[in-house]
A and B are shown apart, each in its own frame.
Chain A
Amino acid sequence: MTRYVPYLLIGLLFGFTLIKSEAASWYRIQEMFHFQSFHMYGILFSAIATGMVSIQIIKLLGNRKTLGHAMDGQAIDIPEKAPGKKSYLIGGLVFGFGWGLIGLCPGPMFALAGTGSLGALIVLAGALHGTWLYGALKQHLPH
Chain B
Amino acid sequence: MHWLTQPWPWYVAGPLIGLMVPMMLFIGNRSFGISNNLRHLCAITQPQTVDIDFFRYNWREHTWSLVFVIGTGLGGYLAGVLFANPLPVELSPAALAMLSSWGFTHPGLDLVPDELFHTSVRNFTYLFACGVLVGFGTRYAGGCTSGHAITGLSTLQLPSLYAVIGIFSGGLISSWFLVPWMLL
Contact = CB atoms under 8 A, between A and B. Distances in A.
Task: Say whether chain A's binding surface is mostly helix, strand, loop, or mixed.
Answer: helix
Contact of B134 (A23, A37, A44, A130): A130
B123 A22 contact: no
A92 B130 CA distance: 14
A60 interface: no
Given A12-B74, A93-B166, A98 B10 contact: no
Contact of A82 (B24, B117, B142): B142
B63 interface: yes
Contacts of B69: 11, 110
Nearest to A10: B23
15 contacts: A4-B67, A15-B72, A16-B76, A20-B13, A30-B175, A43-B17, A51-B20, A79-B31, A81-B142, A92-B148, A111-B73, A113-B73, A126-B127, A128-B42, A129-B135
Interface of B: 6-29, 31, 34-35, 37-39, 41-42, 52-55, 63-65, 67-81, 85, 89, 91-92, 94-95, 98-99, 107-108, 111-113, 116-119, 123-124, 126-146, 148-160, 162-176, 178-179
